[in-house]
């Protein structure tokens, strides 16, 4: 492996470029017409425009990406996260052309990247699952309605071929099903190029815990502990942290070891995350597998000291796990990540625009910033609205919270609205500081009347 095509954009592309070049390899990037001015395009030695702004015509265009590999002489492709990162057909085409796909083998993406097949696989290996349907016919609303009735309301509509919370729509009553189904199908098609959907019984107040794994192509799998991703808005993760607070370490480690053995016995390879729901009453139940690098991987990097993206590249190239990671890292301190989105922090409407000021405190102690933008860039409505990720690391959770809150306070963004005031409110809340958040916890925090409301409104005005 000498040259890697980075089949992504923005912060994801910038992160992969950094890992590729740290390994002494050459990075090639692609960009849409809308992204021509983003800084990652200048980071790489080679850059190719692959189409107009629409993701379908650019970052989801497999033919254009394969043509770029041939033109540039790249012998590997890193898909980042989102877009084609869990598209088995793309991984197969990359390998058929004689290149390395830097991710799990296509058979694993085909099996586990599809959420309904993953559930059957995990069920067969003894994991507890919540109730769900199989993939349902997109145009057969009668079959969809019958499946919902069998599960019992409320239900959750989920895309079969993608993740990240995109396309997930809760349905509380039968009258809402048809409109929600059509809306979710359109979102899944736009984001993943696959409109397939299924239904899941809606669990209203669980914790969302995910377990990170890396593996070689020789049967060895290593768990890199867990992340708590329970702070969500509309099933989009907003804050992630490691280790998970307020759950016994023995409970966490038992599940971690169990999953490590399961994936090792099955022969899983390269990288993946097993996502679980947890309640104290029922324990863990399987949710899905993400057969790719996660947006929140930096949280695990902070507490383990391991560069997960470099490890992913080396493992995909065939190196044994023992040479990539000599021994399993120990947990060191606590890390929290906040996703900064271009959106109104009160009404949550998208807020595209030009970054008239974009100052992020990357030099503060214990703070790491990942972004795909710089001052003067336009944040468009064509892609995910995340403009930056801010990761804090401290000796304990209290210090990590304090550092993240301080860094957010020092951030200066003008030209768009962001969700920073909302994140700051969560970090200051007693619920977040003293209790384990549940997936509906953010809604509850924001519903609480408090003296800080005026401060948040003022902060919102300052940043717009």
Residues involved in catalysis: 292
CA-to-CA dists, residue 317 to 25, 118, 398, angstroms: 12, 25, 39
| Distance between CA atoms of residues 367 and 399, nearest Å | 11
Query: Which pair of tokens denotes residue 301?
Result: 């990097």
Longest dimension (CA), the chain: 61
* Angle subtended at Cα 243 by Cα 238 and Cα 249, rounded to the nearest 5 degrees: 135
Which residues are registered as beta bridge partners of 18? none
Q: Are 241 and 335 in contact (CB under 8 A)?
A: yes
333 by Cβ neighbours in 10 Å (0-12 / 13-18 / 19+) ranks as middle
Q: Reduce the DSSP state of residue 111 to 3 states and report it.
A: helix
Instruction: Give the number of other CB atoms < 10 A from CB of residue 63.
Output: 9
The length of the chain in residues reads 464
The two beta strands, 197-201 and 169-171, are unpaired
Q: Name the CA dihedral angle for 97, 99, 103, 104, rounded to a multiple of 10 degrees.
A: 60
Instruction: Measure CA of the first residue to CA of the last residue in the chain; give whole Å.
Output: 45
- Listed in sequence order, the residues at least 6 apart from 323 whose beta carbon sits closer than 8 Å to its beta carbon are 314
Burial of residue 464 (CB within 10 Å: 0-12, 13-18, 19+) is middle
Nearest-5° angle of CA 287, CA 293, CA 295?
A: 80
Strand partners, 302: none
Q: Let me know: does 190 contact 60? Beta carbons within 8 Å.
A: no
- Of 460, 352, 365, nearest in space to 416 by CA: 352
Q: What one-character DSSP code corresponds to residue 343? A: B
3-state secondary structure of 226: strand
Q: What is the CA radius of gyration of the chain?
A: 21
Phi, psi angle pair for 298, to nearest 5°: -65, -25
What is the distance of C-alpha 190 from the center of its chain?
17
Dihedral sign computed on CA atoms, order 280, 282, 283, 287: negative
Residue 443 DSSP label: H
């Amino acid at each position: 492996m000498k040259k890697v095509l980075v089949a992504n954009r923005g912060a994801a592309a910038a992160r992969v470029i950094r890992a590729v070049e740290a390994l002494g390899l050459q990075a090639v990037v692609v960009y849409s017409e809308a992204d021509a001015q983003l800084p990652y395009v200048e980071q790489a030695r080679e850059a190719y425009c692959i189409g107009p702004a629409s993701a379908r015509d650019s970052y989801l265009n497999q033919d254009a990406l394969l043509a770029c590999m041939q033109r540039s002489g790249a012998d590997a492709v890193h898909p980042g996260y989102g877009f084609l990162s869990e598209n088995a057909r793309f991984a197969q085409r990359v390998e058929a052309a004689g290149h390395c796909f830097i991710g799990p083998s296509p058979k694993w993406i085909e099996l586990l990247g599809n959420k309904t097949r993953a559930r059957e696989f995990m069920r067969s290996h003894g994991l507890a699952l919540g109730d769900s349907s199989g993939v349902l016919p997109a145009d057969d609303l009668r079959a969809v309605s019958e499946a919902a009735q069998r599960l019992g309301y409320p239900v959750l509509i989920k895309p079969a071929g993608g993740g990240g919370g995109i396309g997930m729509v809760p349905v509380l009553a039968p009258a809402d099903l048809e409109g929600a189904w059509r809306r979710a199908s359109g979102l899944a098609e736009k984001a993943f190029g696959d409109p397939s959907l299924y239904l899941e019984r809606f669990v209203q107040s669980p914790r969302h815990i995910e377990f990170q794994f890396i593996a070689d192509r020789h049967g060895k799998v290593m768990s890199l502990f867990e992340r708590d991703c329970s702070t969500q808005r509309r099933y989009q993760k907003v804050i992630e942290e490691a280790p998970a607070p307020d759950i016994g370490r023995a409970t966490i480690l038992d599940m971690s070891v169990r999953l490590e053995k399961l994936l090792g016995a099955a022969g899983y390879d390269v990288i993946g995350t097993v996502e679980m729901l947890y309640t104290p009453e029922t324990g863990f139940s399987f949710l899905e597998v993400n057969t790719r690098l996660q947006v929140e991987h930096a949280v695990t990097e902070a507490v383990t000291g391991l560069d997960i993206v470099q490890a992913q590249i080396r493992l995909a190239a065939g190196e044994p796990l023992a040479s990539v990671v000599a021994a399993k890292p120990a947990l060191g301190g606590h890390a929290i990540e906040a996703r900064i989105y271009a959106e109104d922090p009160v009404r949550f409407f998208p807020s595209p625009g030009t970054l008239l000021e974009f100052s992020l405190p990357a030099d503060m102690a214990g703070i790491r910033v990942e972004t795909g933008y710089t001052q003067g860039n336009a944040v468009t409505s064509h892609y995910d609205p995340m403009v930056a990720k801010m990761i804090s690391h401290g000796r304990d959770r209290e210090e990590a919270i304090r550092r993240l809150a301080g860094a957010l306070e020092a951030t200066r963004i003008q030209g768009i609205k962001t969700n920073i005031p909302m994140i700051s409110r969560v970090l200051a809340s007693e619920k977040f500081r003293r209790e384990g958040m549940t997936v509906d916890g953010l809604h509850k925090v924001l519903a609480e009347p408090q003296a800080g409301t005026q401060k948040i409104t003022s902060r919102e005005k300052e940043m717009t």
